[in-house]
Amino acid sequence: MSVYRRFRNRIRVGPVQVGTYYDGRGREMHAAACTAPRCGFCADYHDRSAAELAARAHRCKA
């Protein structure tokens, strides 16, 4: 069963969206996910700046 995450503070950098959420232990986490079809890029970070850097540096293979 997958985890339902409620994102807040979302921004879009090209095809990548960056959002903030709380994980199952109550820690604030940041996710970067590409919305392009068949790309599959998704990563979780502890820092917002790291997630935004990953979003800016991402190049889609699809």
CA distance 28 to 10: 14
Q: What is the pTM of this model?
A: 0.85
Q: Which of 39, 37, 21 is nearest to 29 (CA)?
A: 21
The pLDDT of residue 62: 63
Reported residue count of the chain is: 62
Q: Model confidence over 23-56: pLDDT tens digits? A: 888 899 999 999 999 999 999 999 999 999 999 9
DSSP state of 60: -
CA distance 9 to 12: 10
